[in-house]
Structure formats: C-alpha cells, structure tokens
Amino acid sequence: MESLAKYRYSLVAGSFAAGGSFFGKLPSHLSAQKLLSTSENILDSSYLEIALLRVLPLVLMIICNVSNLRCFLKALQMTDQTLTCVVLTAASNYVLSFILGALVYQEPLTALSGIGITLILAGLWFLCDGGAVETLKMEADKEK
C-alpha cells in the first residue's frame, strides 16, 4: 500500500485525463441522446441549451486537462523514475476511460478489451509491487 501512496499523484493525473476525455465526448453524446430539444440551427437554440451542451463540458474538459498537467508534474517531482510515473498515469487513464465509456456511453465490451484491461491492471500491480520491493532493498542496504 505504501507504493500506491508514493504514486498517488500519477493515479490522480490519470483520473483527470480520463475526466477530460469524458467531458470532451459529452456534448456529442448529449446531442445524440436528444436530452434537450436541440435544433440543427444554433440560432434557434436557447442560451441554456448552448451553455449545457457546449460551454459547460468544454470548461470542465479544460479544468480536467489543466489539473491533469499539474498533478502529472507533481508526480514527476515525487518519483525517482519518470518511466513509472508516465506508465501509471497512462494506465490509470486507459482503465478509467474504459470504465466511463462502458457505464456512461454504453460502449461495447469485447473479450479483447477485457483482456487488455486485465493486462494493464496486472502490469500496474507488478510495477507498483516491484517498486516497493526495490525500496525495501534500498532501505536494507542503507542500514548495513
């Protein structure tokens, strides 16, 4: 569990990246669902529809992407190896994007996508667990 605490900013950065992707796709999803009475002509739309369908998701996407970069830079400062930080951020982004896509956008779940997510999670576990083992070895060497 200590290894996850060490990489918490990487995981949060990946979460914000997935949020940015989620909010980027939201306007087209809402338009396709016809949740609001959107018309083809943007001049016929009300200000509320424009704000809810286009402006709010865009603002939320920008906020998520800025937060992603901030957390990613903080994660780079906290980790010893930049590769670990990059892999954790990308993997958490992929996994959360997969989950959000399946739950919210009803994207199809295939066997190949299930295998891919399983391999990503297994790789994350080995990466984080291996980092904890290396840290324990380094601390043991310092004590000698």
Judge whether 43 and 122 are in contact, CB under 8 Å: no
Is 98 contained in some domain? yes
Residue 9 has pLDDT above 70, yes or no: yes
Residue 110 has pLDDT above 80, yes or no: yes
Q: For position 20, what pLDDT does the model report?
A: 96
Boundaries of domain holding 30:
2-139
Is 144 contained in some domain? no
Is 16 contained in some domain? yes
Does the pTM of the predicted model rise above 0.75?
Answer: yes
Q: Predicted confidence band at 80 (pLDDT cuts at 50, 70, 90)? A: confident
Residue 119 is encoded by which pair of tokens? 């391999």
Among left, alpha and beta (phi > 0; psi -120 to 50; other), residue 34 is left
Judge whether 16 and 62 are in contact, CB under 8 Å: no
Number of domains forming the structure of the chain: 1
Is 12 contained in some domain? yes
More confident of the two residues 82 and 137 = 82
Q: Could you read off the pLDDT of 19-68 as tens digits, one per residue? A: 999 999 988 887 777 655 555 555 556 777 777 778 889 999 999 999 99
| Three-state secondary structure readout of 89-109 | HHHHHHHHHHHHHHHCCCCCC
